[in-house]
Chain A
Amino acid sequence: MNEALAAAAASASGLTFVDRTEGETFVTYGDVRARARRTAGALRARGVETGDRVALVFPTSPAFLEAFFGVLLAGAVPVPLYPPVRLGRLAEYLVSTSRMIAAVGARLVLADATTRSLLGKAIESSRPPLGCVTLGDLGPAGELEAEIGPGALGLIQFSSGSTADPRPVALSHDGLMAQLAALRALLPREEALPQKGVSWLPLYHDMGLIGCLLQAVYYPGPLVLIPPELFLARPALWLRAIARHRATISVAPSFAYALCAKRVRDEDLGGADLSCWQVALCGAEPVSLDSLDRFARRFGPFGFDRRALRPVYGLAEAALAVTFTPGDREVKATRVDPVRLAATGEAVDGPRAVVSVGTPVPGTDVEVRGPDGSVLGELRVGRIFVRGPSVMAGYFGQPEATASALSGGWLDTGDLGFVAGGELHVCGREKNVIVIRGANHLPQEFEEALAGVEGVRAGCAVAVGFVPEGEDGEQLLVLAERARGTGPPADDEGTVERIRRAVLSHTGIRPHTVRLLEPGTLPRTSSGKLRRNEALRRFLAGALDPPVRVGRLRVLIEVVRSALAFTRVRLGGGAGRPTSA
């Protein structure tokens, strides 16, 4: 990566930062490298050694670049973390940041001055040996550009921002370079048209960091960066920047296309011309055909070519991209019956459109496997496995988690999909991750928020992600069992409302659907653990039924299971049914 920066520095190209008044600051790659070399020297003088992890907490700004490449040039490993939330939920933010700093054993945390002033408690509890400093604190100490040994780690990125169980994805320099080379091979040839990018994606996320920033450095070519919060507040900024800079490439999750179609007004665009936009990649969450179609129709009059839209699939554990769709065609989808899909694993013709995410990127292999590990044929739903040079080295410091994800060079993505017409279609997920607006969340985040909510049977609720009909992307579904003795319809409405409030105020995410169930309805393992994916499968197949009335033996089993599920059940009545909590 350091060689790529040196090559980019020799070009006149660079990065443009857009601010909220749409003022712009241009920094050449030469500037970035010169500053990063000084940062590297200062980091080494501070005691940062080869292979040390350095956490970075910056907004989208030139300082992020200086810090990120400074760490790389010092031979250390950058770990970008997300900056503090703007309003509310600071306590949760500090807990998750502290856990991420601890999970990678960061030696030092670098932050901008504002963030540093908020991080106090996270630093206190995670105790990086060299503390938390700003770039200004580092002071001058000469320049440095360390040699990178073979197999050295180049980056650690988190696959989700969840508080419960952060998974640090460790990528080698070689893996990163393989990913960047594969991506470049998929772009239109340079001599045909030099690529010019615009991105509002966060720089602590694989798609924004590797797909946009590092790809621009590697290419090398110009990139315009917009802070993500400005895009969310004023989505038209993104489209205006593309038109103003005559950008050819930009990438975003499905929800961003939907947000623009909904919120951007004609007068916001002022006659902007989007015909320059040749590659409009869409990934990081399930791709919604509907959203892309609405976007294409909405901005067609502004010159947007719907053939520019290219759905892609990837995950942090594979560095970024796994499959790409080819250019110069319309978005392809296969229509399936969602109930049959959930019930039998067969993709048969039906009302739901599942978008094709194309074929593997160069150097990468993909297999869809059945429960017995055999590779499945077309239209059979199975688990997606990936092999290739940019697959992660492992979860940093977590050999058990690594062993369950990587086997014989194959990465178990935990995603479900099928092949149709030789192209991969992603239609679900077996791993416990909920993807909302391109961000990954663990179900525990939401389930923990339900502790103590009146009317909910303690420990008997699951959070899962699903794509509701007519929605633009994945949404949060909460399936919760009623507390015993509160059965319907007594206070269902109140309980649902309490669940919604608890989840939203703890997590900042609004549940799309909350469904209350009879006690004992949620499927469990033999040891009493809730089976989230099975619960979702039954929900989608319309088969979430309350348990049948049971005899005495089943009562005993039920009691044991309930006890194991951390629920107290007392036996009452004489009809052989478990009653009252």
Chain B
Amino acid sequence: MTPAFEPEALSWYEGSARQRIAALVDPGSFREAVGPEERATSPHLALFDLPEQFDDGMIVGQAAFKGTPILVAAQEGRFMGGAVGEVHGAKLVGLLRAAKSLALDVLVLFDTGGVRLQEANAGETAIAEIMRAVVEARLSGSRVVGLIGGRSGCYGGGGLIAGCCSALLVTEQGRIGVTGPEVIETNRGVEEFDARDRALVWRTMGGKHRYLIGGADRYVDDGPEAFRAAVRDVLAAPGRLDLATLDAEQARLERRLARFGAARDATDIWSALGVAEAPAVPGLSTQAFRAVALGRESAHDAR
């Protein structure tokens, strides 16, 4: 009688932050901290006569994943483009500190354009605090896994935080970067980067490219089951962060730069990686893409 919402049918790209959490973790297990009823809203938006959201676009809490306790954070990409403000950031900092003291792993469901311009200084500070908290949680043994497949991608400070994570899971629609397409075009001109060229945007910043160049650890379909399988997979691997990891990561990035630094377009990189028909990559199904991606750059723990 009641047309119930079917979590398994959720498109990660289309879904809300709350729907993503509900579909990802064990059914009914999510317990929110600093929920909307506490009305921890932005202290800055009213100055600009902008509407607030009761959770400030960041949902944090504890849940069970395959029966194991885990901490979860999700950004609501439709509220101000998932942008990070003071409260939004503080909630994630708190969750990451809790991960350290409770010795739990963390899932961060990114969906953000970066720092919220209306509270820029507080937002930038929040990004720095989050990065520190990610590193401290990882040093204490927790894994921090980033899930990227929302409409707003993972840009600006979100891209920096993602770079600090233990592992990143990305969909074809997911985008990872620091400077977004429009910002590059604004600052460097349309000849440098045409932000309206969607094919260019996705082959430069999209999930397939990031996976191929070792910027993401798992390439997943746009649904909860694919994300669950990938999360289970990366949580089974040992999570470690030490000097040896960072040295190896530095060497890997230097190699990558030497190998691809002169490439003019992502398709040049794909060809160099041994993909026979590089221009066809954006059109490949998940299965066909995984097959051609076997020669991809590896993604080390520290990325």
Asked if chains A and B come from one complex, the reply is no
Interface residues, chain B, CB within 8 Å of chain A?
none
Interface residues, chain A, CB within 8 Å of chain B?
none
